[in-house]
């Protein structure tokens, strides 16, 4: 390597590093501003212009990072909720053959994820209704979760087999994950007037029945 090239690398690296940090800072600024805006109004009521103004960035900077509002919500979900939910599903997978009591404790922990992330959860619940593309994203996410659970729980292995004869189990597994999320939304966002402990038992019983029926 020539001395000139070595010197050029020395002088350019800090500049590149600074640019990367600046880009990441702008991205986080946009995400935080969007989450605050969604919390203050709603997903449907917030415009891209609102987010740009709140984030104090230029329109060009915004579109360098996100093509639209939905992309922001997906990024927020991937950064704040998905990792925790994935850990919860991984915990269920490690149980392999869970008892009814273990499933009840697991559902309770899943509800806590929603309770501890209410701001973004409220936005995700709205987006599920108004953005068909997000519905497709979540169906694909459920497919991945079912496949991961299938690595250690036989019933979910049947659901993720891809075989026509197992289509009933696949649909049942999707409904099961959706039922869990709907229940969490109901008790967290909509303050459903029920005894939460009883509701948790209902959901855990559904999981237990599925695992026994297809296992």
Tell me which residue range forms the domain holding 49.
Answer: 18-67
CATH label of the domain that carries residue 36 = 1.10.10.60
pLDDT band at 18 (very low <50, low <70, confident <90, very high): confident
Instruction: Round to whole Å and give the CA distance between 131 and 44.
Output: 10
Give the residue from 117, 115, 106 showing the smallest Cα distance to 83.
Answer: 117
Residue 27 is predicted with a pLDDT of: 96
Q: What is the pLDDT of residues 174-188, one digit of tens each?
A: 999 999 999 999 999
Q: Are both 105 and 141 inside the same structural domain?
A: yes
Q: Are 105 and 207 in contact (CB under 8 A)?
A: no
Is residue 119 within 8 Å of 35, Cβ to Cβ? yes
Is 179 inside a domain boundary?
A: yes
CA distances for 76 relative to 66, 69, 106, angstroms: 12, 11, 24
In a domain, 46, yes or no: yes
Question: 39 with 119, same domain?
Answer: no
The reply to whether 49 and 93 lie within a common domain is: no
pLDDT score at 7? 47
């Amino acid at each position: 390597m020539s001395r000139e090239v070595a010197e050029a690398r020395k002088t350019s690296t800090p500049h590149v590093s600074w640019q990367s940090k600046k880009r990441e800072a702008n991205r986080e600024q946009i995400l935080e501003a969007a989450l605050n805006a969604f919390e203050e109004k709603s997903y449907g009521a917030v415009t891209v212009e609102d987010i740009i103004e709140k984030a104090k960035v230029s329109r060009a900077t915004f579109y360098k990072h996100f093509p639209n509002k939905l992309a922001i919500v997906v990024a927020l979900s991937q950064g704040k909720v998905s990792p925790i939910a994935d850990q919860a599903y991984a915990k269920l997978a490690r149980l392999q053959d869970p008892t009814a009591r273990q499933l009840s404790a697991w559902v309770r922990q899943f509800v806590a994820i929603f309770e501890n992330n209410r701001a973004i959860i409220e936005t995700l619940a709205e987006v599920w209704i108004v953005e068909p593309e997000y519905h497709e994203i979540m169906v694909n996410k459920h497919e991945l979760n079912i496949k991961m659970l299938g690595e250690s729980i036989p019933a979910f292995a049947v659901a993720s087999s891809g075989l026509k004869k197992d289509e009933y189990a696949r649909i049942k597994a999707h409904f099961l994950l959706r039922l869990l999320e709907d229940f969490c939304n109901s008790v967290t966002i909509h303050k459903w007037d029920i005894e939460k402990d009883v509701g948790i038992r209902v959901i855990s019983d559904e999981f237990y029945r599925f695992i026994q029926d297809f296992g």
